[in-house]
Amino acid sequence: MDTFVKAALASKAPASVSASSHDRYNSPLTSRYASAEMAHNFSDAKKFSTWRKLWLTLAASEQKLGLTDITDEALKEMAEHIYDIDYEMAAIEEKRRRHDVMAHVHTFGVAAPKAAGIIHLGATSCYVTDNSELIMMRDALDIIIPKLASCIDKLAKFADTYKDLPTLGFTHLQPAQLTTVGKRATLWLQELLMDLRNISRARADLRFRGVKGTTGTQASFFTLFEGDHSKCEQLDDMVTELSGFPSAYPVTGQTYSRKVDLDVLATLSSFGATAHKMASDIRILASLKEIEEPFEKDQIGSSAMAYKRNPMRCERVCSLSRHLMTLIGNVQQTAASQWLERTLDDSANRRVTIPEAFLTADIVLSLIQNIVDGMVVYPKVIQRRISQELPFMATENFIMFMVQKAGGDRQRCHEEIRVLSHQAGRVVKDEGGENDLIERIKKCEYFAPMVPHIDALLEPSTFVGRAPAQVVSFLKKEVEPALAPYRALLDAGVTQESINV
């Protein structure tokens, strides 16, 4: 037996296995979790076809502004070969030239030979790299924002459904005054609304790099247009408009300011904190058996403990949100360490950080949609926990009743309650028994006038203050206006995409 085991442990995979797609590392963000739309948004297909579109818009705009060397035939060929990218040729060229943009210029020129001489005319590499990244970030925000609105919409419905259900509130993770299940959900909602505001603002502020040249001076285009300032400005405006942006950053170095990345990803990082807090709360409530995330019929909670119902979705939200929150440090360092008009030490880490931030945020949003859509509440468990703690919380009400309705002395009443409360507390803590404060009060002659009213004084709904009204007001004044721009999409149900949750 040992011989077989040792031989297997020492063996190597056969060539057929090594040659498979499972023999290379794949990011779990795309191979395991990502939605198809976000995974495509940061794919090579999207990236390099966008480069070709940018070269086409540049050439078409240059022709329109009078560069006669750019023919209609060249533009037509470029337009016909946006998507048929020879990745193998591009890889060979990049390995030879050590320059990804020039490799793809060459590859595009082979596909569109009539345009080979004018592709990338006057441009620097950042014309395609930076502008394509801004396009992908814009499109990624357009994927994320409706999904965030959907999460808010679903959670708002949950809050409304349970706005009146009393539950034990906690401060310092210790029992405190009662709140309601719906009111607690509004605490999560309020933070998600902040995220919607922040991310929407980042989307509205996003601009295009445009056509700025090697160090941002437009010198090459100034030469192409023989010193015509107006045509340089028109070229910038035309390409910006054709690329779907209302405006470009007025000044750049070779790159657009990396503070743009910081502003955008800061909103995603902030959302990560919201998601982590919300999922952590649900995990605590699941431990108390008050609320659970969806649990499917054949789902396995533990390989060893068959009875377990682990909150795996919320745990995944916390896990991924933690990753999302850490990415902002990289973006801060990059923005801070760019020298003068640019350095290239931003390139490699941005290839990782920016896609991962959006992929992670998108995955977390899909998970939250799934969780809120099927969240289960257990009112009887909640009621039992209230009944264990409410007698202590109701002591102030008892004192007020005895003084106001029964003509009692407050100091004596306080002492009677104090003694009985400590006796009941010892039963709970020292003996592991149930809270018997109410039974002790009912047996105490001093409290005889209050006994007929004690059930009314212990009604949980009288301890939640304005919680139900706060929920109604919050949903009407804050949530509904925030969701109004997305109402048609939400009602059509087009913001939910099925992923491996």
- The DSSP secondary structure of 226-283, one letter per residue, reads TT-HHHHHHHHHHHHHHTT-S-B-S--SSS--THHHHHHHHHHHHHHHHHHHHHHHHH
Tokens of 124: 């620097």
Any idea which architecture 42-115 has in CATH?
Orthogonal Bundle (1.10)
d(CA 328, CA 353): 9
- Higher-confidence residue: 10 or 359? 359
Q: How many helices, marked H, and strands, marked E, lie in the chain?
A: 23, 4
Q: What is the CATH number that goes with domain 395-457?
A: 1.10.40
pTM of the model: 0.88
Task: Find, among 238, 256, 221, 249, the residue nearest to 128 by Cα.
Answer: 256
Tokens of 276: 């982590």
* Tens digit of each residue's pLDDT (9 = 90 or more) over 26-84: 888 888 888 999 999 999 999 999 999 999 999 999 999 999 899 999 999 999 999 99
| Contact residues for 474 (Cβ-Cβ < 8 A; gap 6+) | 159, 186, 189, 190
| Contact residues for 383 (Cβ-Cβ < 8 A; gap 6+) | 460
Superfamily for the 125-164+177-215+255-377 domain: Fumarase/aspartase (Central domain) (1.20.200.10)
HSE toward the beta carbon, residue 142, CA cutoff 13 A? 10
- Domain boundaries, given as residue ranges, for the chain: 42-115, 125-164+177-215+255-377, 395-457
pLDDT of 304 over the 50 cut? no
Q: Give the mean pLDDT of 325-344.
A: 93
The SS3 assignment for 138 reads helix
d(CA 256, CA 141): 18
- The DSSP secondary structure of 35-46, one letter per residue, reads -HHHHHHTSHHH
| Contact residues for 252 (Cβ-Cβ < 8 A; gap 6+) | 209, 210, 212, 216
* Active site amino acids: 172, 302
* Tens digit of each residue's pLDDT (9 = 90 or more) over 426-444: 888 898 888 888 899 888 9
d(CA 409, CA 129): 80
* Tens digit of each residue's pLDDT (9 = 90 or more) over 171-218: 999 988 999 999 999 999 999 999 999 999 999 999 999 999 999 999
Band the pLDDT of 299: cuts 50, 70, 90: very low
